Structure 1
Amino acid sequence: MTGFKYIIFAEIKIIHMDVSLVFEYFTMLSAQQQAHFKKLEAVYQDWNKKINVVSRKDIDELYLRHVLHSLGISKVQRFNEGAQILDVGTGGGFPGIPLAILHPNTQFTLVDAIGKKIKVVQEVIDQLGLENVTAQHTRVEDLPGRFDFIVSRAVAAMPTFVHWTKGKLKKESAHERQNGILYLKGGDLTEELKDYRNVQVFDLAQYFHEPFFETKKVVYLPQKFKG
């Protein structure tokens, strides 16, 4: 009796954790933008040894958990030239720094109430030579001016965040989408968002195929929301 040999080929998905992960999803970057993204890892690795702005377990997956995650906002909304974007509770510079690299003609203001974090953010800005970013050590409630969009990464529940940022959005919109909040969140948001009838939730898994993004979302809350 002739024996049969079965060979099973399993598809192996290689997930890159370096800067190539960014280049895979954003293919139209200029040479300068590519250089900025490449430099991020070394700058954050160096500063994280001095001041822990990125968790120890996440620093080895910086491009997945911080850079690409931040850039998820741009899959929902691209910013026009001259637009002004506010990043509230920026921490180590996320999502503001990656978004500023992607949108070099848009102005970004990054704020945090913790001075040591803003110190690191300023060093990153200086070492990369980013001319479209300013960092301020302040509470958002004390910050003057108005902005086209407010971005952040889950620094508080939405009702609290809306309260903090009240009066910080420009009344006139310069984009097709109305000025508002673009908030990176995760998990089940049903209860948290139940009072916002015109909120929109975008699943990042429809843009990025890595398992990390299966529960990650961008929440868009327009300026004239109905609560």
Structure 2
Amino acid sequence: MTAALIDQYFPELTEQQRAHYAALDELYRDWNAKINVISRKDIDNLYVKHVLHSLAIAKVLKFKPGAKVLDLGTGGGFPGIPLAIMFPETDFLLIDGTAKKIRVCNEVIAALGLTNCRARQQRAEELKKREFDFVVTRAVARMEKLAEWSMRLITPTQRHALPNGILALKGTDLTEEMAALPKSAYLEEYPIREMFQEEFFEEKAVIYLQY
């Protein structure tokens, strides 16, 4: 699978965005050989399992210029880096507790010349300011833990039609996780199979959580 897959679902991309997505394959193959941030069997499926999966969030919400987004537990840069390419006027902060993963993120960001995206070795518990419009994340923790870490960092100032909150890439069966959330929580599920036709997305969803 090549970067043409991204263009198939997002035909409005600029030439620069297309070039950035196309560059991800070589960059991640090179860095993955040095620092294993993507499983060896998944590197050949980078565009489906990592890039396109990340961009399911872009099908739910178009981040506005000037918005601030936190990618919590970014790993090798997902979903933050693909989203930063998609929304060049939105500010992305990528955090993870593992130094080698953050090194890969910063090397990829630098190679692409992204000016709206930065990565730091940091845990969510260490952040104090309520400055983010949205927190995005992929397979990091159960929803109640994500809420505990994230909701206190989300600004009350609204600039999107969708109220500020968490956008998490998860599986579709969240009955148990939903039961652990406070009654004031509002949760909405967006099945990714309705956005992308690849079999990988059959039981995956974007979960929106807001208090």
Give the corresponding residue for 1:220: 208
Instruction: Name the SS of the counterpart of 2:48 in structure 1.
Output: helix
TM-score by length of 1: 0.89
1:19 pairs with 2:3: yes
Give the corresponding residue for 2:89: 105
Distance 1:176 1:114 in 2: 34
Give the corresponding residue for 1:164: 149
Out of 19, 23, 37, the position equivalent to 1:53 is 37
CA deviations on 1:162-221 (whole Å, 9 max, x unpaired) are 112241000111111100000000141111113355210000000101111100100001
Structure 2: runs of 5 or more not aligned: none
Confirm or deny: 8 A CA contact 2:151 2:165 kept in the other structure.
no
Distance 1:185 1:70 in 2: 11
Kindly state the Cα deviation for residue 160 of structure 1 after the two structures are TM-superposed.
1.1
Q: Of the two, which has the highest radius of gyration?
A: 1
Distance 1:27 1:58 in 2: 25
Distance 1:202 1:60 in 2: 26
Confirm or deny: 8 A CA contact 2:150 2:166 kept in the other structure.
no
Distance 1:221 1:99 in 2: 19
Structure 1: runs of 5 or more not aligned: 1-16
1:188 pairs with 2:176: no
1:43 pairs with 2:43: no
Confirm or deny: 8 A CA contact 2:133 2:164 kept in the other structure.
yes
Instruction: Name the SS of the counterpart of 2:205 in structure 1.
Output: strand
Give the corresponding residue for 2:194: 206
Confirm or deny: 8 A CA contact 2:92 2:116 kept in the other structure.
yes
Runs of 4 or more, structure 1, over 4 Å off, are: none
Identical columns (%): 51
Query: How many matched pairs?
Result: 207
TM-score by length of 2: 0.96
Q: Which amino acid aligns with 2:94?
A: L
1:148 pairs with 2:133: yes
Distance 1:188 1:40 in 2: 31
Kindly state the Cα deviation for residue 143 of structure 1 after the two structures are TM-superposed.
2.0
Give the corresponding residue for 1:89: 73
CA RMSD of superposed structures (Å): 1.0
Give the corresponding residue for 2:115: 131
* Structure with more helix by fraction: 2
Confirm or deny: 8 A CA contact 2:172 2:191 kept in the other structure.
no
Instruction: Name the SS of the counterpart of 1:192 in structure 2.
Output: helix
